[in-house]
Amino acid sequence: MSTTTGHLDLDQRLARYAADLRELGAIRSPAVQKAFATVPRHRFLRSFYYRADRYTLAPGELPSARLLDVIYANNALFTHDGSDGDPTSSSSGPSVMAKMLEALDLRPGMRVLEIGGGTGYNAALLAAITGAEVTAVEAGRVAAANAGATIDELGLADRVRVVHADGYHGDPAGGRFDRIIATCGIAGVPPVWLDQLVEGGMLLAPIAHAGVHPILTVQTAGRVTVQGRCALWADFMPAAGNLRPSVLFAHDPNTSISADNVGRDVAAVPAAGPDRYNDLGFYLGVRDARTNRAYLDAPEFSPAAGSTALVEDDAAVWVQHNGDLLHAGPESTIAPLREQLHQLVHEWDSSGQPAATEWRARFAPASGTPAPLLVPSQWECADASPSAR
């Protein structure tokens, strides 16, 4: 029997939720749409934050219609925070989840490993699509326990196994999988993940690039070459530990540049606009490893206008949607950064403004990391020559 929730019963609400995701273009296949229309997202939420407010759901009770409106909309919901108050786990935005599930090219019977199990909702969606075993590895003790309990309550324990472990090592049991999906931002791919893929298998992961974590598909060619391509633009909360060692990041995107010597070059470069800005950001990350997201505590700066910058020490030059270059820091550092960013944006424009999804990479071992990681080391585009990062 369906449960009434205001104007919609739950079955109707789930069906509309899935249909809305299809209308957005996030869902393309009947199998993914059916999964979103049948797996109840609210059951995987014990508590969550939305617009700075925290909501706690009573176990076994249906949330109010107002909360269901929030849950069954295209909202990312933070579910756990750390001792410093920063979020450590979330239920990702449904449109991003759906796009990632479509990018996995899932088929019935495929075994899937998920790194960053979070609430368990995505693992349940995976099981609904494949009808096969899903292993979800979650580093957070409380998050893993809650996810496992919900999986048990929904009668999915025969298909979904939640493991509390360090995701760097993949499946602690050493299983083999047709697909591996990471749902946390990582710096590179641990070689053990590739060892746990069957021949012809595929990995999908948000891998650090230009201060964010665009989602790449990664496959092996033979036994030696590891190749990847950008599947879609997104960003995820960063993983901890060996999956994202600080030694690979000269600048933390969450820190702000000092508001010294702030200036603006109006309409200095071709305007990417909000629709192509992420494509420009990806290109800048390919061409210059100093590309990052940066923030400035000054009235001249608005993240909504664009936060991609070339960053060096305590100086940065931002390219904004409208083609302005905003800069802050010592003039001796800013001057060459402005010139280099000006040149790179013109390069992107004159090369036909390639989209992020046109780029392919070869992976190679990172240097100086505490544990082995394979990172994108050489990018190439259909209309561009190979570029070393």
Q: Is the pLDDT of residue 326 over 90?
A: yes
Q: Is 150 helix (H, G, I), strand (E, B) or coil?
A: helix
Range of the domain at 376: 358-388
Tens-digit pLDDT profile for residues 264-291: 999 999 999 999 999 999 999 999 999 9
Is residue 321 assigned to a domain?
yes
Q: What does the pLDDT average to over 96-109?
A: 98
| Domain co-membership, 261 together with 369 | no
More confident: 56 or 389: 56
> Do 302 and 364 have their domain in common?
no
Active-site positions read 92
**pLDDT, position 89:** 57
State how many domains the chain has. 3
CB 160 within 8 A of CB 134: yes
Percent of residues, the chain, with pLDDT higher than 90: 80
Average pLDDT across the chain, whole number: 91
Rounded mean pLDDT of 355-377? Answer: 95
Classify residue 61: in a domain, yes or no: yes
DSSP conformation letters of 245-305: -GGG-SS-TTSEE---S-EEETT-S---HHHHHHHHHHHHHHH-TTEEE-EE-STT--GGG
CA-based end-to-end distance of the chain: 57
Return all residues near 326 (Cβ < 8 A) that are at least 6 apart: 262, 263, 264, 296, 300, 301, 317, 318, 320
- Domain-embedded: residue 143: yes
> Do residue 174 and residue 271 come from a single domain?
no
Output the domain CATH number for residue 265: 3.30.310
Percent of the chain whose pLDDT exceeds 70: 92
Same domain, 135 and 26: yes
Mark which of 132, 149, 183 sits at the end of a domain: 183
Is residue 38 assigned to a domain? yes
**Helix or strand run (H / E) with residue 358:** none
Q: What are phi and psi of 308, to 5 degrees?
A: -80, 135
Q: Last residue of a domain, which of 125, 160, 183? A: 183
Predicted model pTM:
0.91
Does the residue 246 lie in any domain? no
Domain assignment of residue 247, yes or no: no
* pLDDT surpassing 60 at residue 347: yes
Model pLDDT, residue 85: 43
Question: For position 223, what pLDDT does the model report?
Answer: 61
Claim to verify: residue 114 and residue 71 sit in the same structural domain: yes
- In this structure, the answer to whether residues 94 and 179 fall within a common structural domain is yes
Please check whether residues 114 and 139 belong to one and the same domain.
yes
Give domain status of residue 100, yes or no: yes
Label residue 251 by pLDDT band (50, 70, 90).
confident
Average pLDDT over residues 25-52: 95
Domain boundary among 160, 183, 206: 183
Do 374 and 320 fall within a single domain? no
Amino acid at 101: L
Rounded-to-integer distance, Cα 240 and Cα 222, Å: 31
174 shares a domain with 95: yes
Report which DSSP code applies to 171: -
pLDDT of residue 88 exceeding 60, the answer is no
Question: Does 219 reside within a domain?
Answer: no
Q: Are residue 365 and residue 278 in the same domain, yes or no? A: no
Average pLDDT value for residue range 237-258:
85
* For range 185-214, the mean pLDDT: 96
Mean pLDDT of 63-72: 95
> Pairing relation of β-strands 315-319 and 325-328?
antiparallel
pLDDT at residue 387, as a whole number: 46
Q: What is the mean pLDDT of residues 101-115?
A: 98
Q: What is the pLDDT of residue 59?
A: 82
According to the model, what pLDDT value does residue 8 have? 65
366 pLDDT more than 50: yes
pLDDT band at 155 (very low <50, low <70, confident <90, very high): very high
Q: Are residues 273 and 289 in the same domain?
A: yes
Token pair 């092996």 is found at: 220
Task: Pick 296 or 78 by higher pLDDT.
Answer: 296
Quick one: 111 and 162 in the same domain?
A: yes
Q: State yes or no: pLDDT of 254 exceeds 90.
A: no
CATH code of the domain covering residue 160: 3.40.50.150
